[in-house]
Copies of this chain bind each other. A is one copy, B any other.
């Protein structure tokens, strides 16, 4: 476990922050399965949310992936993590100003997604149908 922590650390240190193009570098963060959804939920919710509250709202996310996602968002400065050293422990998450600034853009995307969902679904089905002949 000591070894693994060191490996993780090394991996982060090796990361070349200067090399990648800014757009790709930032947008790649939304490539993962959950980041956008978490930001969206934290954005809708009044006040901070607890770990399990997030987990239950999302429903089908594993504990591991929620932890990973929140850590990454925290590292990027999008989410603030407040840890209360009580027993049992309590941890609350909320968007930072940076995170809130992203919200309208994500909402724009999701609105578009909702509006065009049918068109996309139909297009996918048609595409498959055409492939049946090939």
Contact = CB atoms under 8 A, between A and B. Distances in A.
Given A31-B32, A33-B28, A114-B22, A105 B108 contact: yes
Copies of this protein in the complex: 2
Interface stretch (A48-56, A82-90, A115-123): A115-123
Nearest to A132: B9
A46 interface: no
A27 B23 contact: no
Interface residues of A, number: 47
Contact of A26 (B28, B102, B108, B113): B113
A124 interface: yes
Contacts of A102: 112, 116
A45 interface: no
Interface in A76-134: 76-78, 98, 101-102, 104-106, 108-110, 112-114, 116-117, 119-125, 127-128, 131-132
Contact of A117 (B25, B28, B114): B25
A77 B30 CA distance: 22
A119 B30 CA distance: 17
